[in-house]
Each structure stands twice: as structure tokens, then as C-alpha cells.
Amino acid sequence: MVSSNATSGQACPSIKPTSNGVFQGDNPLDFALPLAILQICLVIVVTRGLAFLLRPLRQPRGGILLGPSALGRSTGYLHTVFPKRSLTVLDTLANIGLIFFLFLAGLELDPKSLAQTGKKALAIAVAGISLPFAMGIGTSFILRLTISKDVNGAAFLVFMGVALSITAFPVLARILAELKLLTTDVGRMAMSAAAVNDVAAWILLALAISLSGSNTSPIISFWVFLSGCMFVICSILIVPPIFKWMTKRCHEGEPVDEMHVCAALAAVLAAGFVTDAIGIHAMFGAFVIGILVPKGRAICSGLKTNVATIQGLQSWGLLVLVIFTACFGKIVGTFVVSISCKVPLRESLAMAFLMNTKGLVELIVLNIGKDRKVLNDETFSIMVLMALFTTFITTPLVTAVYKPARGVKDGWLQAQDN
């Protein structure tokens, strides 16, 4: 992903949208539309192929093989299929997709579900974000002394805290569904805690973005934060009544009026425009709209990730440190609070591993940090590998520690609350 601020400073030659055809002597790869079609097709083939190969491990798809870590080592391939002049178009398409992805992620969050799981989910969520956030801040000081000396200190500190403390809510929902745990007490508790975690993380991310602007003064950061709060308040007052009115006009079993669909899409894009204009990423606005809709669901990261930037004992040691810090903060923090809330041992372990899920949401955060020049190439690669590792181990660990007994109905949560 590349933000408008990031791309404005790059001197990329203009590229025409369509060609006149090979018979007119034009190379389709020199034009934006056919090149974008080839890139999208290649991404789909590679990611779907990886999904098929990794199906036994139930792992998410990824695009790192397309970037400089693997195929990108061939300069001929990289300059032909993913030339720099095309990245603005590809990043714009990716950002639009991520805007609607975050909107769908917001739709998955039901604020009412928190009330059903009581204070325990809130306590687990607070522990799941506070301890990792604090450890992320500690790790940021080490990275600044080694490989990230030239970054914005305050923004880098917050970005690292968010990156190590966020839980990928959509990925967590998919994992729980595949393991058939979505409707269990563990699933409901994990989803509620992850919902609170995500909301807090995105608020902190908005703060980090406001701090990452060039020549940003404390006054500007304050106005950005205040404007963001006003956007959320206005959205709370305006969005739910409108969507409730639309819902009443959509009768069950009948096709949804296309005007309502267009209005919803326009609202998401408008919210993205407003938050981008404020100085917060457009995806934050889409996420807020998704949460507020009444309830009744990483490719560019791979293209930007170059594992070759991780060289030498120091870099690999920092990678181990980041992975250990991310896992320790999430798993230990969640586990300790779960046990203190009298959640059974196996369920507490499962909850701890589930809250450690990173996935695509983590990659979104990292891309924003890279585009805002808060993360350099080496730090970005380390953080991406951390996100992949933590997501990779989630399903096997949960499967190993938590297998609900047959014939035993879930009820420990309700029993404890009573």
C-alpha cells in the first residue's frame, strides 16, 4: 500500500491506461490496464496455489513469493511484471480492496456480543493489548539503537506497540470457524476480546499516523486526533439511524434495492475520504462504518517484503526478539488473566493462542508504517515475518491444546458468571 503522501514525493514516469494493440507495435506491459490485469491474475494464481498446498496446515494465503524475497530476485521479472511505474496503480487498487475489507471486518464486530460475555472478555482484551503494547515499546528502543535509527521516534514507538498487540479479528473468525469453535464459549470469548482489542488498536494506530506526518507539531497531532474523535462521534449519531431505516425497507427474502447497496458503498468510500483528509488512513473510516452498521467478514505486503534485508547475526537476533516479544506478551498476558477469571486451563491456553493471531490486519498496520516512513525495509521485513509466524502457529497450537469433549455442552462461562 502506498498513501497519497508517500507517492507524491516519488518521481515515477506517467503511464497510459490502454494500448493500441500488438499489431500497432505496442507492448501491453507498457500500459497500466493490461499490466494491472496481468499482475492481478498472477497474484490470484500464486495465492490460490499456495492456499491449496497449505490447506492441510490451514494457513492463510500470502504474496511474499511474488516480491523481492523470491521471484523478485530476478530483476528482469521484477522490472517487467512489477515495474515501479505501475506500483501506484496496483497500490491504489489494493487500498480500495483493503478499505472494503476493513468495512467487512467492522461488520463482523457486534458491540452487543461483549455484554453477553461479561467482564471476563473485557479483562482478557485489556491484558491482551496492554502487556504486548508495553513490550512493543520496549522492543522499539532496541530496534532504534540498531536498525531503525533514522525513523520518527514517537510514531515508531506507537507503531511497534500496535503491531505487537493487535489481534486479526477476521483471521481469528476464520480459524474459529474452520475448527468449529465459533459458537463455543471459547469462540465467543475470543471474538469479544478480539473485538475490543481491534477497536483499541485502530484508535492507537490513528494516533500513530497523526504523529508520523512530516514536520508534525504537537498542535497538528492534537487537531488530527480531535478531528478523528469528532468523526467517530458524528458517525455514531448519523450512521446507525440511516442504516436502520434502510434495513426496514429491505424485506427478508426479497432482493436488496440496488440504491441501498450503492448508498452503503458510497458511505464507506466517503468515510475513507474524510479520514484520509483528516490525516488518518482511509481504512479507519471504513472500519468505523462497519462497526456502526446495525448487525442482524496481503498481497502488497509480500511485494514489498524482501527477506534478503535481514542479514547478519544482529538482524536474525532481532527477528527472534520480536517474535518472542510478540508471542510472550499476547500469550502470557491473556493466559494469566483468563486463569484469574477462573477460566479452565485448556480454554485459557486456547484463548491465549487465539489472541496471538496476527494475519492480514497486522500486515495492514505494517504497510501503513512503511508508507509513512516509520518502518524501514529491514524492520518491515522482520515484522512481516513475525506476523506470518504467529499466524502460522495459531491453528496447530489451538488444535493441540483444546479439543472439546463430545457430549459436553459449553456452559462454564455462564456458570462462572452466575
Question: Which among 56, 87, 118 is the end of a domain?
Answer: 87
Whether 1 has a pLDDT exceeding 50, the answer reads: no
User: Which tens digits make up the pLDDT trace of 190-229?
Assistant: 877 877 777 777 777 777 777 666 555 667 767 777 888 8
CB 104 within 8 A of CB 268: no
Residue 225 lies in a domain: yes
pLDDT of residue 11: 44
Indicate the number of domains in the chain: 2
Of 363, 376, 232, nearest in space to 302 by CA: 363
Question: Do 16 and 119 fall within a single domain?
Answer: no
Looking at the fold, whether 29 and 129 belong to one and the same domain comes out as no
The string of pLDDT tens digits covering residues 86-113 is 777 877 887 888 788 778 777 766 666 6
* Whole-number pLDDT of residue 239: 87
CA dihedral for 307, 308, 309, 314, sign (positive or negative): positive
Joined together, the cell numbers standing for residue 365 give 498496520
CATH, residue 289: 1.20.1530.20
Cα 120 from Cα 364, distance rounded (Å): 28
- The sign of the dihedral angle between the CA atoms of 12, 17, 22, 25 is negative
With respect to residue 66, please indicate whether it lies within any of the assigned structural domains.
yes
- Do residues 401 and 318 both lie within one domain? yes
pTM of the model: 0.61
The per-residue pLDDT for 273 is 92
State pLDDT tens for residues 223-269. Answer: 777 888 888 899 889 988 888 887 777 666 566 677 777 888 888 89
Give the ranges where 54-184 is alpha helix by DSSP (H). Answer: 75-81, 84-108, 111-146, 153-165, 169-178
DSSP 69-100: TTGGGSHHHHHHHS-HHHHHHHHHHHHHHHHH
Percent of the chain at pLDDT > 90 equals: 1
Mean pLDDT of 369-382: 80
Give the domain-ending residue among 33, 64, 87.
87
Q: How confident is the model at residue 270 (pLDDT cuts 50, 70, 90)?
A: very high
Instruction: State the residue for C-alpha cell 483468563.
Output: 338
Grid cell at residue 181: 469453535
- 48 with 164, same domain: the answer is no
Per-residue pLDDT at 181 exceeds 80: no
